[in-house]
Structure 1
Amino acid sequence: MANKNIRLASDFLMRNLPILIFIFSSICSAADLQLRSIGRFEGWKENYLSGIGLVSGLAGSGDSPRSKATRQALANLLSRFDLSVSDSQILSRNVASVIVTATLPAVSRAGDRVDVTVTSMGDAKSLAGGSLLVAPLKGPNGVIYCLAQGAVNVGGFKVEANQTVEQKNYPTVGIIPGGCAVEQGTLSSPRPPDGKLRFLLNNPDYLMANQVASKIRASVSDVTVVPRDAGLVEVQFSESLSDQRLVELIAGIQAVRVEPINQVKIVVNERSGVVVAGANTVISPITISHSGLRISVTTTSIVTQPLLVIDSPGTRATVEKDSRIAVSETSGAVITRPGNTIADLVGELNRQHVTARDMIAILQAIKASGALYADILVQ
Structure 2
Amino acid sequence: MKHVLPLLALLAMLLGAFDAGAATARIKDLTSLQGVRGNELFGYGLVVGLAGSGDTERVFFTSQSVSSMLGRLGIRIDPADVRSRNVAAVMVTARLPPFARPGTRIDVTVSSIGNARSLAGGVLLVTPLTGPDGQTYGLAQGPVQVGGYEASAAGSSLRKNHPTAGRVPSGGTVERAVVHDLADGPLVFQLADPDFATASRIAGAIGGVVGPEAARALDPAAVEVVVPDARRGDLVALVAELEALEVVADERARVAISERTGTVVAGRNVRIRPVVISHGGLRVSIGSTPVISQPAPFSDGGRTVRDRMAAIEAEELGIGVQALPAASNVDELVQALGLLGVGPRDLIAILQAMKAAGALDAEIEVL
Query: What TM-score, normalized by structure 1, do the two folds share?
Result: 0.87
Aligned to 2:143: 151
Write the distance in 1 (CA, Å) between the matches of 2:224 and 2:124: 45
Write the distance in 1 (CA, Å) between the matches of 2:213 and 2:268: 38
SS of 1:216's equivalent in the other structure is helix
Q: Which one of 345, 363, 366 corresponds to residue 375 of structure 1?
A: 363
Say if 2:129 and 2:139, in contact at 8 Å, map to a contact too: yes
Q: Which one of 279, 301, 313 corresponds to residue 326 of structure 1?
A: 313
CA displacement at 1:263 relative to structure 2: 1.6
Say if 1:42 and 1:199, in contact at 8 Å, map to a contact too: yes
Number of corresponding residues:
363
Write the distance in 2 (CA, Å) between the matches of 1:287 and 1:222: 50
The 5 A counterparts of 1:44-83 are 44-83=36-75
Write the distance in 2 (CA, Å) between the matches of 1:32 and 1:74: 57
Give the AA of the match of 1:237.
Answer: V
Give the AA of the match of 1:71.
Answer: S
Q: Percent identity?
A: 38
Note closer, same or farther for the CA distance 1:132–1:142 as it changes in structure 2 (3 Å cut).
Answer: same
Note closer, same or farther for the CA distance 1:65–1:213 as it changes in structure 2 (3 Å cut).
Answer: same
Note closer, same or farther for the CA distance 1:223–1:57 as it changes in structure 2 (3 Å cut).
Answer: farther
The 5 A counterparts of 1:338-357 are 338-339=326-327, 341=329, 344-346=332-334, 349=337, 353-357=341-345
Aligned to 2:248: 259
CA displacement at 1:289 relative to structure 2: 2.0
Write the distance in 2 (CA, Å) between the matches of 1:24 and 1:164: 49
The 5 A counterparts of 1:88-103 are 88-103=80-95
The 5 A counterparts of 1:33-48 are 33-48=25-40
Q: Which one of 190, 206, 209 corresponds to residue 196 of structure 2?
A: 206
Write the distance in 1 (CA, Å) between the matches of 2:200 and 2:239: 19
Write the distance in 1 (CA, Å) between the matches of 2:196 and 2:79: 61
Say if 1:334 and 1:348, in contact at 8 Å, map to a contact too: no
CA displacement at 1:164 relative to structure 2: 2.8
CA displacement at 1:22 relative to structure 2: 5.6
The 5 A counterparts of 1:96-115 are 96-115=88-107
Q: Which one of 317, 324, 328 corresponds to residue 336 of structure 1?
A: 324
SS of 2:360's equivalent in the other structure is coil
Say if 1:225 and 1:236, in contact at 8 Å, map to a contact too: yes
The CA RMSD over aligned residues, in Å, is 2.6
CA displacement at 1:368 relative to structure 2: 1.1
Write the distance in 1 (CA, Å) between the matches of 2:206 and 2:328: 36
Say if 2:55 and 2:87, in contact at 8 Å, map to a contact too: yes
Aligned to 1:365: 353
Aligned to 1:274: 263
SS of 1:330's equivalent in the other structure is strand
Instruction: Describe the superposition over 1:312-356 as per-residue Cα deviations: whole angstroms up to 9, x where unpaired.
Output: xxx677776633121223322443223355654555655765222
CA displacement at 1:90 relative to structure 2: 1.2
Note closer, same or farther for the CA distance 1:261–1:378 as it changes in structure 2 (3 Å cut).
Answer: same
Unpaired runs of at least 5, structure 1: 1-10
Write the distance in 1 (CA, Å) between the matches of 2:181 and 2:226: 17
Write the distance in 1 (CA, Å) between the matches of 2:4 and 2:159: 29
Query: What TM-score, normalized by structure 2, do the two folds share?
Result: 0.89
Write the distance in 1 (CA, Å) between the matches of 2:344 and 2:241: 45
Give the AA of the match of 1:207.
Answer: A
